[in-house]
Structure 1
Amino acid sequence: MRPTVNLKLLTGLLMAIVLAMGCASVSGTGEYNRSYDFAGIERTAVVSVDGIGGQANRDQVAAMFNQALLGLGYSPVERSRINTVIEEQDFSRSQITTAEGAARAGRILNVDTVVLVNVPEFGDNMSMTAQMIDVEDGTIVWSASGSARTGADMTRRSGQLLGAVGGAIIGSEVGGDSTGAVAGGVGGAIGGGIAGDALSRQRQEQSAVLVDQLTRSLPAR
């Protein structure tokens, strides 16, 4: 069942605030196959986030895409389930980043499409690409790319906002309803920007704004 709160709207509003506070510039374009039946997609899965190191980093970016997909009416597979399948089937990183390997993983996950994300540039200047692939024939049905530059002087408030977004993502995935989203958002705001293997506040901002920019070109179900 889809969340009862408009998480896409929530994310968009928060991203607009964060953008005004610190992100200097963002741009992105995307195209989709106009003959493809996006309304017929029952389930999808973000099977690969490439170009950045650390499992926590990749999981955060994947969760941001899951949030955007939910807002567009798709039903993304939980990230932990994807990681389990990849480990059980002994997929290598290089295999899962190809259209053929990703489509094979998608068939195992019993989804209609898979999403591949790549972050070829990761720093003050960040670039990101995303593709949605039909698992039956391996064709690309949607592709988008973008870039963002953020200033070095980020505020604690921007970290709290991005933490709230991340918390809402996790809360909605775990709770499956508005209660989980609200609880996750509160927890995320408190814990936003925690050091370690997770993305820094600046990288969270760049990633979240880019994901929002890219997925605007993806048709809603």
Structure 2
Amino acid sequence: MSKSIPSGFVTGHAGPPGGRRLLIVGGSRGIGASAAAHFVRQGDTVLAVSRRPAVAGAWVRADVARDDGIAAIADAAGDEALDALLFLGGTWEEGAFTDAFRFSASSSDEARHVVSVNLLAPILLARALAPALLRAANPRIVLMGAVSSKDNAATPEVANTASKFGLRGAAQALRLSLPRLGITVINPGNVATPEVEADIAEGRFGPQVPIPVEDVLAALDFVLGCSAATTVAEIDLLQRHPG
């Protein structure tokens, strides 16, 4: 029987020294897991935050919906300069993006949890990690939004859509509060993570060609590769509809 790993405990091996030091939220699955593996391969030091074991980098076990989780992440980051916070995790309502979703059936607890993870946690982490970020020469925060946060593109998932709209507003305010940080929101449509591909294959999503994960990684590389003179405010990644 395996022992429980305390919240905030860092284990595993990060990439070789000499690269950037990145903190990635959502390191156990989806876009965050792909990004953690991608940046470790590039030689960056990655702190990968998730509740379940991360696939690459040094795992920081924490729940971003909890105050003690935010504190544990800040403790794991420590006093050393942090080049970027990449908030690539997120959550949504039960049955979201399928015909099974019913707003009337979504509980108050579920709505609070979605907004807490998707919107409040990035704000609190930006504040908690600002001292470490400001020690870097070209600090960045990248937040994973959604195409549903754009005007006239909302979806019926009220808590998720509201949190993604709010994330764009939070980024604008953070640029004023933390002017030395480059703060970017990436707004993708469906991305071809294993989870999304399984949903398509099983018919929970309609037939579609999702955005390749490599395109999201290319966007992250572009943002982190820009000089300190440039802030990339937003990147929209829209699915192309063949034919």
* TM-score normalised per structure 1: 0.37
Greater Cα radius of gyration, structure 1 or 2: 2
Which protein has the bigger helix share? Answer: 1
Which protein has the bigger strand share? Answer: 1
Q: Which has the higher contact order (CA 8 A, sep 6+)?
A: 1
